[in-house]
Structure 1
Amino acid sequence: MARTHPPLDPELAAVLTVVYEHLSPTITPEDIEELRTNPMFAVPDELLTRNGTVQLQNLFVPGPESAPEVSLLVLRPVGLAAGAPILYYMHGGGMIIGNNRTVAGGVLDWAVDIGAIVVSVEYRLAPEHPDPAPIEDCYAGLLGTHGLATEIGGDPNRIVVTGASAGGGFAAGLALLARDRGGPELLGQLLMCPMLDDRFLTPSSQELDGEGLWDTTSNMTGWNALLGERRGGSDVSIYTAPARATDLSGLPSSFIDVGSVETFRDEDIDYAARLLQAGVQTELHVWPGGFHGFDGIAPQAALSQTASATRSAWVRRLLAAG
Structure 2
Amino acid sequence: MTSQQHSSQASPKAPPPCVEKQIDIGQREPLAARFYGRRQGAHGSPLVLHFHGGAFVGGSLEGGSSIAGLLAASGAVVMSLDYPLAPAHPFPQAVEAGYGALVWAWKARHKLAGHDAPMFVAGEEAGGNIAAAVALLARDRHGPALAGQILLSPMLDPCLGTASLRDVHAGPVGCIWADGWHSYLPRLEDASHPYATPGSVFRLSGLPPTLLITAEDDPLRDETQAYAERLRAAGLFAHEAVLPGPTGWPCSYLEAGHDQAGWPAVVRKQFGDFFASMSAAQNVQSSLLSGP
Q: Which residue of 2 is the match for residue 86 of structure 1?
A: 47
Equivalenced residue count is 269
Aligned to 1:184, which of 144, 148, 151? 144
Match 1:168 to one of 128, 131, 143: 128
| Cα distance in 2 between the residues matched to 1:252 and 1:142 | 15
SS in 2 for 1:228: coil
Aligned to 1:292: 249
1:209 CA displacement: 3.2
Root-mean-square deviation (CA, aligned residues, Å) is 2.7
Q: TM-score, normalised by structure 1?
A: 0.74
Which one of 109, 132, 137 corresponds to residue 70 of structure 2? 109
Number of the residue aligned with 2:19:
56
Q: Give the conservation status (yes or no) of the 8 Å contact 2:124–2:152.
A: yes
SS of the residue corresponding to residue 261 of structure 1 reads coil
Name structure 2 gaps, 5 residues minimum: 283-292
Are 2:175 and 1:217 equivalent residues in the alignment?
A: yes
Verify the 8 A CA contact 1:295 1:308 in the aligned structure 2: no
Q: Is the Cα–Cα contact under 8 Å of residues 256 and 282 in structure 1 kept in the other structure? A: yes
State the shift of 1:127 in Å. 1.0
| Structure 1 residue 79, shift from structure 2 partner | 6.6
- Name 1:316's counterpart in structure 2: 276
Alignment partner of 1:131 is 2:91: yes
1:160–1:188 contact (8 Å) kept in structure 2: yes
Q: For residues 111 and 246 of structure 1, do their structure 2 counterparts lie closer, same or farther at Cα, with a shift above 3 Å needed?
A: same
1:74 is aligned to 2:32: no
The Cα of 1:77 is off from its aligned counterpart by: 2.7
Instruction: Report what 1:275 is aligned to.
Output: 231
Give the drift of 1:62.
2.0
Task: Please state if 1:46 is matched with 2:3.
Answer: no
2:286 alignment partner in structure 1 = none
Distance in 1 separating the partners of 2:39 and 2:226: 39
Out of 172-181 and 75-84, give the one that drifted further: 75-84
Q: 2:196 aligns with which of 240, 257, 261?
A: 240
What letter corresponds to residue 54 of structure 2 in structure 1? G
Deviations 1:125-184 (A, max 9, x none): 111111111111111111111111113243465111111111111111111111111110
Aligned partner of residue 187 in structure 1, secondary structure:
strand
Moved more, 200-209 or 129-138: 200-209
CA distance in 2: counterparts of 1:104 and 1:216, whole angstroms = 23
The question of whether the paired residues in 2 share the 8 Å contact of 1:146 and 1:156 is answered with: no
2:202 corresponds to 1:202: no
Contact 1:101 1:120 in 2 (8 A): no
Shift of 1:96: 1.1
User: Which position in structure 2 is the counterpart of 1:146?
Assistant: 106
